[in-house]
Structure 1
Amino acid sequence: MRSYRPFVLQALSFLAVLLLGPGGSLSGQRSEPLKTPLSEDAILLFSNEISGQMAFDNMVKLAGAPWLRSPEELTGEGNFYESEEIYRMARAYGVETVRFDRYEAPGTFTYPLAGELWVDGRRMARVPADAALVASGSQSGEVEGRLIYIPEVPQSELPDLAAEIASDPDEYRGTVALMWSHPRGAMVELLDNAGVQAVISFSSRERYFDPDQVVYARGSYGQNQTLRLGFNVSWRQWSEMLEDVHRGLEVTIRGKAEIGAYPNRFETVYAWIPGTEPDLPGVVFTGHLFEGYTKRGANDNMGGPAIQLEILRALHHLIESGQLPQPRRTIHFIWPNEISGTYEFIRRDPSLVEKWSININMDMVSEGLRNANSWFTMSETPAQLASFYDGLAAAVLNYVWRTNDIVYLGGAPRGRPGGQYFPVPMWEKNGSRDAFRFFIHEATGGSDHIVFNNASVAVPGIEFFTWPDQWYHADTDTPDKGDPTEMKRVAFIGASTAWVSANLTDEMLPDLLQAVSDFGYNRVAERGIPKALETLGKAETGDMKAGILASTIIEAAVERERDAIRSIHEIHSGSRTATRLVDDELASWGAYGDALRGFVLQAAAPGLAGGLSLPEPTSEEASHASRIPRLAPGIRGQEFNMGRFQPAQDYFRDHPGILNEIGLTNAQTSQISNWVNGRRSILTIRDRVAAGTGQEIDVAQVARYLEILEEIGWVEIERSR
């Protein structure tokens, strides 16, 4: 291992130059901190029209319904309340371009129609008053028995518990178990065979913050003979029962549940603001109305559709009143069942994927930040689907922060004299006066944006999100946790960024390019450069493999930002001026990338003039540089999971161990699939996967895996001309 100390001063001085973008400003520090691609007049227009209070009121309408669904909703004789109501509200705003889709789905869903839990003759909870009482997966039935405590048992100690049960079976037979979590796997079988009738458990985001919340949870009770019921209670209720058991009291539990099963279905509400160029890529908002049909949360996620409904209302009004023109690109709104409903919506009209440039997903965005001890966050677009939107959103988020917080920075705007006021406050009379705080992080999953980031859809998707959420998946996720001020700010962020994305003018373009590049230089400085230097730091001076990998990491980091700039070509006006501006910015990034790679190669071999010299591509690498994989016909927008693709199932069943023979990990095969876009060569995909995983990978391995995907009909491989 070598020390970097002799090279530190040289590296830092060179980095100081490299981290300056072509515009001359240090990455991440904008010369005009409140600058966005929108004009001041447009910002004022959106801020004045958007109402966080109206969004909040609509969330109350959506989430304030009775917890227990009506028989008509369950059987399908009527529609689900949420989809029916948001469709009605959109129509009431005069939006005619709104559609209610309903179609059958495979299988059935279960729903707790009734439930009770009694402790020593005292009713502790019941459905519908306590919506989360009955654990999903339970069977209908009644139980009565003595309460016992079963502590957490590691898998390795299950034989000890089995021996204990065998030594005194009457201690367990006919009882109700108090457990830290609902049992899974071998523990379920053990307790079922022992004659335990039910389990009482709790889960909590922060048990001392809200000890009375009950979190929706599920257990493996559906196939058991004896252990058929699970109950969810609060931390306070659970701990008091534990205290009584430890005191030696004999506690009697009585409980029951009635579970109904109903034909599954999808209900999706789809609205849109038509663009004058409807066949070119526009914007698609998503916010799920359902996450299963039992849990009905305000922040998760009636707040998301309510905020997007306010965006729809505001834009519709501004356009209809002549204050805004019709956008060039269509702005779409999809309110589905989370993830599965979004996939089904796309599968039924796969042509839509060609009409979207960016997905803006909102999930859990309505809570007050101070009340929830939270941050407003954004999950950025993934590297393989780099988009202008990351930089655009960062600029608008920065604007909302700098105008709705007391920022002690030079050039920060100031409000009224005589006190610490927000410079340009964006709040509601009945909302909080919270400062706005935000954080942008690498791409994550967990909500509808992963549908768009799926390689078979390949539309860049981001997620706006509030975390931590102290009432996540709990029966206390109710409208009183919402904040009209926060909802106004989120609606402003969504509306303004969507408007730039759907109606980018040549006047907006220079500021958008600056925002995207500012964010890109910062991302390269924070992630790409440290990762490359870390790779070199683990190797000996002059190590060729480490030098190649570090150079590959830098190239991938820079090309990600160039891809983000390139994506602006999809949305700009198409004028010669716009095309030239984007191409000039790409050229600046190209020069920056060349200089940065030179720095890394010098760092790899500081004693050599000119640094480490990389070898020429091998003949095999050169051959794969002209082979371009693309998704096969019938895959994009129609097949979303290779594991469920029948030809893939047949192939891997007939060729067990083939991936081990090739020498690829699951992470590598997943990334290989993600990078296929019909423009990248097999060699480029190899380099991007190596950079992403930080591991060497041979181009022959990548080629062999893609050839398998071609054999099963997932991709086609063409040779570029």
Structure 2
Amino acid sequence: MRKILFILSTFFFIFYCFSEEQFPPPSDIPKTILPLDLLMEIINESSGEMAFQNEIILTGVNRNREPEEYKNGYFETQFIEKKLKEYGIKDVSIVELPKSFFSRQDKTWDAISAELWMVKPQKVKLTDLREVPATLCQGSSSFEGEAELVYVGPGDSENYYKDKDVKDKFILVNGAPEPARRIGVEKFGALGIIAYSSSHPEFDPDQVGWNSIRVSEKEKKTFAFMVSTRMGNELRDRLERNEKIVLRASCKTQMVPYKEECVTALIRGDERPDEELIFTAHVFEGFAKQGANDDASGCVALMETARVIQSLKDSGKIKLRRSVRFLFVPEISGTASFLEKFPDIKKKIYANINEDMVGEALIKNNSIFQIKSTPYSLPSYLNDVVASLIEWIGEVNRINLKRTPTLPIYAPTGTRDPFYYAIDPYDGGSDHIVFVDGGVKIPAVMLICWPDMWYHTDRDTPDKSDPTQLKRVVVLSVASAIFLSNAGEKEVCEMLNLSYSKGLKRLGDDKIKAWQILRDSGKKDIHKAYKEARNVIIQGGIRERETLKSAMFFVGSNQKIHKILSRHLESISSLEKNILSEIQEFYIYLCSEYSLKPQEPKPTKEEMEASKLIPVRTEKMKGFFNSFAFREYLRDKKDLPPYNLGPAEFEVRNFIDGKRSALEIRDAVSAEYYPIEIKDVLNYLRVLESAGFVKIERKK
């Protein structure tokens, strides 16, 4: 009897595991904007392992760069160019870029050697450039000598030096070295700095952060070593026990002539080759700092994306109407310089997908894969196209109650991590900011995994990356490229449906935000809050209508599609009107609770004046905004009007188009971020005008 029960239970177990419930037919697999058979071709061709192997070659170990690279070309760019040519991509080249965009010097810093020893109370080598290239801070000068070590905490305030003699000594700093240099070295005469500061010491106390000091020609030459938090705390504890510690620092550095260069590759479209989707990833973030996830992972994901597209195109499995370009650059400055050097290419680009830190193992890094959308100043179909594919990958890899993903995308040697993802509003910090800048205005999104437990440290190495994650990103990138490159009438209908449907949710989120502004305002501020709540909804309606209109790039004046667009626009406007009515009813209710009489929103005198002022860009502000020149200007001025815009400063600038008034700019940015005082916007515009970036004209 037991034998029969065992056989039956085994049979039912096998039947359950291999039934259609576990391996669903294609009809049960969620649908998205590309057909399933094409998606399967993309999935089968994409290799997380090939991308991962390239990452190992690029950043398998941290290394101190050979001086010859600065004049003869860099290992990374030469390797990327070579591999892309191996993949059959014919239009590939290394391009030398101008170094003038951020006023860079003709020479760059280079480390030759560096060692740090404890010589008293015992002789112990603490760190060595050959073993930990992150240990010597960029900007350090050559030095040879011994000195006593003094702990000064973070060292970024004079309070930390009270009753401490640091003159002609080394200071131990629990924090970034540059703020401590400005006080400890410049003001109190310390010889050099030993610092410990990294992204996640609570997660890995042995990571050593990449860092730098910025010493001007007029300032005292010095050096800074970085050590791990574990080592820094051990030194601190010994000093606090009144041990006398003497260190010997030895470092040799030089300034060398260098090249600024990038790799560009183009897969040419067959019908509209002069319309380009451009993928970007930064291969350099300074020449000293290296990182597997940041951002070799973005580079190898792009390399594999290019290989897959070329392979599918060569085999006849796909066609490309438009061109796809790949750009591997020095972060931000390289992208800006490339667009500056090649204005004809810039005119061809209709969208950008920037990949920065995309390959890390999600569970190992406590991370989530994220898309950072375009800002309010540049609403676009691009957000919803890429987001829909991210959502599809997440859905088909989700472990549901049937115990299995419907279409798992795994690499043979990768993890089986779930595909954790988030669809986020705009955020900066990488090359996409060049494209969405108000002087460039090309829709761009960023793909990124965040957080990264080894961000900007010596332990950002390939063992933290995941071939499965890389494969999923490549599938996403290839699918996005194929859809956008071939977009015509049917694809635009798909985009309109996507953006309209997702726009309804975004307007719903706007309503929640507006409702909360009213709810949390209190009796004193209820009238002002109602004004801000209305603004959130009005700006949301503008954003969604502009998002829908943006898709018309692909079909021009096609009347059939324009009829569909018009109906969607009418629906958005109708919904906006309904939400405003609902917000008004809530406002009236709150006024009754506070025994107040409802008021129609009216502009203040300052707002009336701001509505007549139109900031217009000058030639100096055409193209990507030169923030370096702007900061230099601010440094020398002491009587400028104050402003406090925080992260909204970028968008205030982007909304300057020669048509919007200062008040309209304030309203748009307030809806995107938080209510901003009109005086802060006006003062910022006046500072830009004094620096020659804008001219403020009065509306006639």
Smaller-chain TM-score bracket? 0.7 to 0.9
Indicate yes or no: 2:578 matched with 1:579. Answer: no
Q: Displacement, 1:59?
A: 1.4
Q: Matches of 1:210 and 1:579 in 2, distance apart?
A: 56
Task: Give the RMSD, CA atoms, in angstroms.
Answer: 3.8
Tell me which amino acid in the other structure corresponds to 2:140. S
Q: Which residue of 2 aligns with 1:636?
A: 622
Q: Which residue of 2 aligns with 1:52?
A: 48
Q: Matches of 2:677 and 2:638 in 1, distance apart?
A: 22
- Does the C-alpha gap of structure 1 residues 203 and 581 become closer, same or farther in structure 2, counting only changes over 3 Å? same
Match of 1:501 among 484, 493, 509: 484
Q: Matches of 2:212 and 2:331 in 1, distance apart?
A: 18
Match of 1:274 among 268, 271, 278: 268
Q: Percent identity?
A: 27
Q: Matches of 2:651 and 2:380 in 1, distance apart?
A: 18
Matches within 5 A, 1:682-701: 684-692=664-672, 694-695=674-675
Which structure 2 segments of 5+ residues have no match? 1-27
Q: Which residue of 1 aligns with 2:133?
A: 131
Q: Displacement, 1:338?
A: 0.4
Q: Matches of 2:636 and 2:223 in 1, distance apart?
A: 37
Tell me which amino acid in the other structure corresponds to 1:636. K
Whether the 8 Å CA contact 1:193–1:226 is kept in 2: the answer is: no
Indicate yes or no: 2:428 matched with 1:445. Answer: yes
What is the TM-score of this pair, normalised by structure 1?
Answer: 0.82
Indicate yes or no: 2:69 matched with 1:89. Answer: no
Q: Matches of 1:201 and 1:561 in 2, distance apart?
A: 49
Q: Matches of 1:207 and 1:642 in 2, distance apart?
A: 32
Q: Displacement, 1:267?
A: 0.4
Q: Matches of 2:609 and 2:345 in 1, distance apart?
A: 35
Indicate yes or no: 2:394 matched with 1:401. Answer: yes
Shifted more, 684-693 versus 79-88: the winner is 684-693
Q: Displacement, 1:266?
A: 1.4
Q: Displacement, 1:387?
A: 1.2
Partner secondary structure for residue 301 of structure 1:
helix
Indicate yes or no: 2:329 matched with 1:336. Answer: yes
Q: Displacement, 1:615?
A: 6.7
Deviations 1:592-635 (A, max 9, x none): 112112222222224999x9785799999999989987645674
Q: Matches of 1:47 and 1:580 in 2, distance apart?
A: 36
Whether the 8 Å CA contact 1:182–1:230 is kept in 2: the answer is: no
What is the TM-score of this pair, normalised by structure 2?
Answer: 0.84
Match of 1:35 among 31, 34, 52: 31
- Does the C-alpha gap of structure 1 residues 528 and 292 become closer, same or farther in structure 2, counting only changes over 3 Å? farther
Q: Displacement, 1:706?
A: 8.5
Q: Displacement, 1:671?
A: 3.9
Match of 2:310 among 305, 310, 316: 316
- Does the C-alpha gap of structure 1 residues 697 and 33 become closer, same or farther in structure 2, counting only changes over 3 Å? farther
Shifted more, 543-552 versus 291-300: the winner is 543-552
Match of 1:262 among 242, 256, 260: 256
Matches within 5 A, 1:30-429: 34-64=30-60, 67-74=63-70, 76=71, 78-105=72-99, 106-107=104-105, 108-119=107-118, 120-152=122-154, 155=157, 157-158=159-160, 161-162=161-162, 164-165=163-164, 169=165, 172-185=166-179, 188-191=182-185, 196-219=190-213, 228-276=222-270, 278=272, 282-327=276-321, 329-408=322-401, 414=402, 420-429=403-412
Whether the 8 Å CA contact 2:185–2:192 is kept in 1: the answer is: no
Whether the 8 Å CA contact 2:320–2:482 is kept in 1: the answer is: no
Partner secondary structure for residue 261 of structure 1:
strand
- Does the C-alpha gap of structure 1 residues 541 and 224 become closer, same or farther in structure 2, counting only changes over 3 Å? closer
Q: Matches of 1:245 and 1:627 in 2, distance apart?
A: 60
Whether the 8 Å CA contact 2:276–2:348 is kept in 1: the answer is: yes
- Does the C-alpha gap of structure 1 residues 234 and 579 become closer, same or farther in structure 2, counting only changes over 3 Å? same
Shifted more, 528-537 versus 614-623: the winner is 614-623
- Does the C-alpha gap of structure 1 residues 378 and 33 become closer, same or farther in structure 2, counting only changes over 3 Å? farther
Q: Displacement, 1:407?
A: 3.3
Tell me which amino acid in the other structure corresponds to 2:395. R
Tell me which amino acid in the other structure corresponds to 2:333. S
Whether the 8 Å CA contact 1:602–1:608 is kept in 2: the answer is: no
Partner secondary structure for residue 95 of structure 1:
coil
Shifted more, 127-136 versus 614-623: the winner is 614-623
Match of 2:654 among 654, 674, 695: 674
Tell me which amino acid in the other structure corresponds to 1:688. A
Work out the number of aligned pairs and report it: 661
Tell me which amino acid in the other structure corresponds to 1:644. A
Q: Displacement, 1:690?
A: 4.2
Q: Displacement, 1:571?
A: 2.6
- Does the C-alpha gap of structure 1 residues 224 and 121 become closer, same or farther in structure 2, counting only changes over 3 Å? farther
Q: Which residue of 2 aligns with 1:23?
A: none
Q: Displacement, 1:276?
A: 4.2
Q: Which residue of 2 aligns with 1:6?
A: none
Shifted more, 120-129 versus 676-685: the winner is 676-685
Q: Matches of 1:195 and 1:699 in 2, distance apart?
A: 42
Whether the 8 Å CA contact 1:146–1:176 is kept in 2: the answer is: yes
Q: Displacement, 1:326?
A: 2.1
Q: Matches of 1:126 and 1:619 in 2, distance apart?
A: 64
Whether the 8 Å CA contact 2:58–2:76 is kept in 1: the answer is: yes
Match of 2:533 among 550, 569, 573: 550
Q: Displacement, 1:131?
A: 0.7
Deviations 1:622-679 (A, max 9, x none): 9998998764567433x52377379x969x999954x46xx89677775443113466
Q: Matches of 2:201 and 2:604 in 1, distance apart?
A: 59
Whether the 8 Å CA contact 2:282–2:298 is kept in 1: the answer is: yes
Q: Matches of 2:458 and 2:590 in 1, distance apart?
A: 64
- Does the C-alpha gap of structure 1 residues 597 and 351 become closer, same or farther in structure 2, counting only changes over 3 Å? farther
Whether the 8 Å CA contact 1:99–1:270 is kept in 2: the answer is: yes
Whether the 8 Å CA contact 1:135–1:232 is kept in 2: the answer is: yes
Partner secondary structure for residue 134 of structure 2:
coil
Q: Which residue of 2 aligns with 1:481?
A: 464
Partner secondary structure for residue 264 of structure 2:
strand
Q: Displacement, 1:125?
A: 2.3
Q: Displacement, 1:333?
A: 1.4
Partner secondary structure for residue 283 of structure 2:
coil
Q: Matches of 1:669 and 1:324 in 2, distance apart?
A: 43
Tell me which amino acid in the other structure corresponds to 2:411. E
Q: Matches of 2:116 and 2:564 in 1, distance apart?
A: 67
Tell me which amino acid in the other structure corresponds to 2:382. Y
Matches within 5 A, 1:605-620: 605-606=588-589, 614=600
Q: Matches of 2:691 and 2:57 in 1, distance apart?
A: 52
Q: Displacement, 1:718?
A: 11
Partner secondary structure for residue 288 of structure 1:
strand
- Does the C-alpha gap of structure 1 residues 249 and 346 become closer, same or farther in structure 2, counting only changes over 3 Å? same
Deviations 1:495-543 (A, max 9, x none): 2122222222333334333322333222222345323541464154996
Q: Displacement, 1:421?
A: 2.4
